[in-house]
Amino acid sequence: MPDVKHMKWYGWGVEGVSFHHEDKPKLRPFVLDIIDLDLDTPPGAQTELSDLPIPTPRISDELLEQLTEAVGLDNTVSEDEDRIVHTYGKSIRDLLRLRAGDIPRVPDVVIYPADEAEVQRVVDITVAADAVLIPFGGGSNIAGSLQAPENEERTVVSIDLGRLRRVLEIDEDSALARIQAGALGPDLEQQLNARGWTLGHFPDSFTHSTLGGWVATRSSGMQSDKYGDIADITRGLRMVMPGRVLEVRALPSTSSGPSVREMVLGSEGRLGVITEVSCQVHRIPEQRLILGYLFPSFEAGVAAMQEISASDAAPSITRVSDANETRFSFSTRKKSKGVSVSGLVSKGLMAVLARRGWDLDAVCLSFVGYEGGTDHVSRQKAIVKKIIASHGGIGLGKGPGELYDQKKFDTPYIRDFLLDRGAAADVSETGAPWSKLVPMYDNVTAAARKAFAQLGTQGFIMCHLSHSYHSGACLYFTFAFKHDGHEPLVQYDVVKAAVQQAFVDSAGTLSHHHGVGTEHAPWLADDISPAGVAMTEALFKGVDPGNNLNPGKITVTPTTSRA
């Protein structure tokens, strides 16, 4: 077996790490209150790998032999666990299906090439055999981008890029790094940091997602206000296509026709296998600081972030939670003496705010990050402070920000903990112009509440604004409800579809940084118009007439959702 790390086959993250609530005394009553779920409920029975109806690989001896010859015996894996790891990503649908043994099409073989030349051989062999090729990075996808079509009759080959994880070169004058596509976030940050550089790309999935996956799905990290989305960070790339390699030079800007770079970004394997990305990198800043703030309402917080985006300030993070997400944050206070958000938002402070006329149920927690030289940071802080004060906000200092910074990659573990106890929890995010954000927020929360009512369940939805741009921002929603135990996915789809429909009906995009896959494909025409879908299809069909490259993603409407 090749030396490539994978997450647990049945859930998020590494074996042996999971969420627990014993040290957070306020969380149990909070969750009981919002979705009528007792966190002390024992977890449901775990599905074992041996329980799964894993089909025998459908692959000809000839193809298997060719692939083995291309990458070596150790890197041609047909074992059940590896095939299951590569069957789905980590969406709630993926996990529920696995637990239900609903695995209609498992990859027939998993291939671990060592370098681009081996990737080329695998692509050429697969396409020549009219098999299906699905690129796999960290497996963190939650949009259904990794699964084979359920009725796929052809051989399905999963190509895992995990052995391509080196920073190949840093052009220090140009602040450009050539990095292999299979590098996980920590892999590449470690290699860059050792030489004084950072990519500055920290999505929530950071620890378990790869550079190639980020590019293929148009990822965005939490410091995107400073470092840009992955689409900005990606200056050049290499992608193996049948018979040849696409080489997009690392360029600051160009007018060489429609952007091929921007065709590969977001292509989710439908055009080829990304092997290398030339990324813009930054010197590790002299100072990094995240400050906490409170606003009297979500509207006030959004208005403040909007004003910051139009000002001369250039923070690295802008984030405002709504009242529900703020209450959730406060409920995760630990009983130990360590710093916590609510530890800093003391009863005393709340009393002061109440005297000032704040509605304490509407309080919204916010973070703003600053990076750069100390002069730069203190100037940014001063500009932001003034703007926040003008919208009625107050500063909380460094504590909450440091806590946020430490906890930021842990959220997906909570989802799995709830799932084990009969609750469905998921995230959906969108981007929209500033003027549309508050109306959209109202529409989405109303749509979710309506869906919960339709299901007869007590659901919960919370939201934060993050990723500010000159003309708009991302709204990131998290929703949860206790499902009926019988058809959790049918119930989930009611809520998910309501949220997605509210996004596109409210001038938003189907996803700000999670991609399209199969999960969001039903809303693509609403988002980019039927003509945009036709253009995208023309590109896919022209490049891949045999439909061998990760078929069924982005432009094909699946049967699974949208009533």
Give exposure, 80-92, as e/b (b: 16+ Cβ within 10 Å): eebbbbbbbbbbb
Q: Near a second copy by CB under 8 A, which window of 19-27, 93-101, 360-368, 466-474?
A: 466-474
Per CB under 8 A, 54 contacts a second copy? no
- Among residues 10, 88, 293, 476, which one is catalytic? 476
Q: Is 210 in the site for a second copy (CB under 8 A)?
A: no
Residue among 267, 366, 550, 561 that touches a second copy (CB under 8 A): 267
221 belongs to the binding site for a second copy (CB under 8 A): no
441 belongs to the catalytic site: no
Among 15, 33, 375, 484, binds a second copy (CB under 8 A): 375
- Determine, following the binding rule CB under 8 A, whether residue 282 of this chain makes contact with a second copy: yes
- In this structure, the number of other CB atoms found within 10 A of the CB of residue 310 comes to 12
Alpha helices per DSSP H over 456-516:
488-505
Pick the piece of the chain touching a second copy (CB under 8 A) from 35-43, 152-160, 350-358, 541-549. Answer: 541-549
- Cα 288 to its chain centre, rounded Å, is 23
CB nearer to a second copy: pick between 93 and 553: 553
Binding status of residue 367 toward a second copy by CB under 8 A: no
Q: Give 106 or 516: the residue with its C-beta nearer to a second copy.
A: 516
Contact 341, 292 (CB under 8 A): yes
Query: Which of 44, 101, 338, 373 is the binder for a second copy (CB under 8 A)?
Result: 373
283 binds a second copy (CB under 8 A): yes
Query: Which residues, in sequence order, are bridge partners of residue 476?
Result: 429, 464
**Separate counts of helices (H) and strands (E) for the chain:** 20, 18
| Main-chain dihedrals φ then ψ at residue 295, nearest 5 degrees | -120, 150
Using CB under 8 A as the binding rule, whether residue 512 contacts a second copy is answered as yes
Is 188 a binding residue for a second copy by CB under 8 A? The answer is no
Total of residues contacting a second copy (CB under 8 A): 95
Residue from 173, 194, 347, 563 touching a second copy (CB under 8 A): that is 173
Residue 75 or 140 with smaller CB distance to a second copy: 140
By CB under 8 A, tell whether 77 contacts a second copy: no
Rounded to 5 degrees, φ, ψ at 102 are: -90, 80
Strand partners, 179: 167, 277
Is there binding between residue 469 and a second copy (CB under 8 A)? Answer: yes
**Position of tokens 């980019």?**
528
Span near a second copy by CB under 8 A; candidates 82-90, 183-191, 389-397, 425-433: 425-433
Long-range Cβ contacts of 28-37 (<8 Å, 24+ apart):
29/331, 30/327, 30/328, 30/331, 31/331, 34/324, 34/458, 34/460, 34/480, 35/423, 35/457, 35/458, 35/459, 35/460, 35/480, 35/481, 35/482, 36/458, 36/482, 37/418, 37/421, 37/422, 37/423, 37/482
Compare residues 309 and 324 and give the one whose CB is closer to a second copy: 309
Q: Which stretch binds a second copy (CB under 8 A): 7-15, 308-316, 342-350, 412-420?
A: 308-316
